[in-house]
């Protein structure tokens, strides 16, 4: 029915961290493009709110904390066969290097790295990825252009970008693709968390560096749709920067 490859009809897409921000918008946009979505998050009410905003039918919610091994296994068990995965769940924390502790490293890495890697491991081990599936990791421009205090977040994102390339290598025989999206500053609740940590003044100064202004979740969702669709079938192992031109000024 669709001659254009720019759609997601007939595809089942799993999205982590879908109860807010970029993840919620990706879920909504994927459903609007004809995809069936499976969303996960830690908060039932907020996840339900995302679920109610979805277009079409047949969608699923799976509640759970990805950093907890039992809950993660339970999530993997409940997943149907997938044509796409968007790894979006994450958190940001600002801490100077000289104060770093193992505990701080673990706080950032457990959700931004360990949980992502182990979830992908479980999904692939259980053969939940269909042939030709597309995996999209939401990274950050801070992997290459880190801010002060961002050692752990930026390192975890850089690690995910390397991980994505290895995933692309290990699974290309099944035509499975893996790519990263590297957003600049996007207006979400995470942004408001950053605002609390680094003060509004320094955040405003950062936003002033964006030629096209601050980004919105839709901007990231539209790119995710492209990478999940067959329109990008020859793209794998890449990092796509979406930053309103921010790094032009870096």
Residues making contact with another protein (CB under 8 A): 94-96, 99, 101, 148-149, 195-202
Give the whole-angstrom CA distance, residue 71 versus residue 172. Answer: 29
| Nearest-approach distance from CB 102 to another protein, in angstroms | 13
DSSP output for 78-90: H---EEEEEE---
| Nearest-approach distance from CB 93 to another protein, in angstroms | 10
- Taking the least distance from each CB to another protein, the nearer of 70 and 101 is 101
For tokens 């996007």, the residue is 186
- Taking the least distance from each CB to another protein, the nearer of 95 and 113 is 95
- Taking the least distance from each CB to another protein, the nearer of 40 and 154 is 154
And the tokens for 141?
């421009």
Give the whole-angstrom CA distance, residue 10 versus residue 87. Answer: 20
- Taking the least distance from each CB to another protein, the nearer of 99 and 234 is 99
Lateral strand order in the sheet of 82-87: 60-63, 36-41, 12-15, 82-87, 129-138, 177-183, 239-242
- Taking the least distance from each CB to another protein, the nearer of 125 and 196 is 196
- Taking the least distance from each CB to another protein, the nearer of 202 and 238 is 202
Of the candidates 239, 219, 123, the residue with the CA atom closest to the CA atom of residue 178 = 239
CA distance to 16, 158, 238, per residue, from 250 (Å): 30, 18, 21
What's the CA dihedral at 39, 150, 207, 195 to 10 degrees? 70
């Amino acid at each position: 029915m669709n001659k254009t490859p720019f759609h997601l009809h007939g595809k089942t897409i799993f999205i982590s961290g879908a109860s807010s921000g970029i993840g919620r918008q990706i879920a909504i946009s994927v459903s609007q493009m004809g995809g069936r979505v499976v969303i996960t998050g830690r908060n039932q009410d907020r996840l339900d709110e995302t679920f109610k905003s979805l277009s079409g039918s047949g969608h699923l919610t799976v509640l759970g904390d990805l950093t907890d091994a039992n809950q993660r296994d339970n999530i993997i068990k409940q997943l149907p066969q997938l044509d796409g995965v968007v790894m979006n769940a994450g958190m940001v924390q600002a801490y100077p290097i000289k104060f770093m502790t193992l505990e701080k490293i673990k706080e950032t890495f457990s959700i931004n790295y360990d949980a992502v890697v182990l979830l992908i491991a479980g999904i692939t081990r259980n053969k939940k990825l269909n042939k030709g599936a597309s995996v999209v990791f939401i990274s950050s421009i801070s992997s290459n252009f880190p801010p002060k205090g961002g050692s752990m977040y930026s390192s975890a994102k850089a690690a995910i970008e390397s991980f994505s390339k290895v995933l692309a290598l290990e699974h290309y025989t099944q035509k499975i693709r893996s790519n990263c999206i590297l957003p600049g500053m996007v207006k979400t609740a995470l942004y408001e968390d950053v605002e609390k940590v680094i003060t509004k003044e320094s955040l405003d100064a950062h936003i002033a560096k964006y030629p096209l202004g601050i980004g919105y979740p839709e901007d990231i969702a539209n790119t995710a749709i492209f990478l999940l669709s067959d329109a990008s079938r020859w793209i794998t192992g890449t990092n796509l920067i979406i930053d309103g031109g921010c790094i032009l000024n870096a």
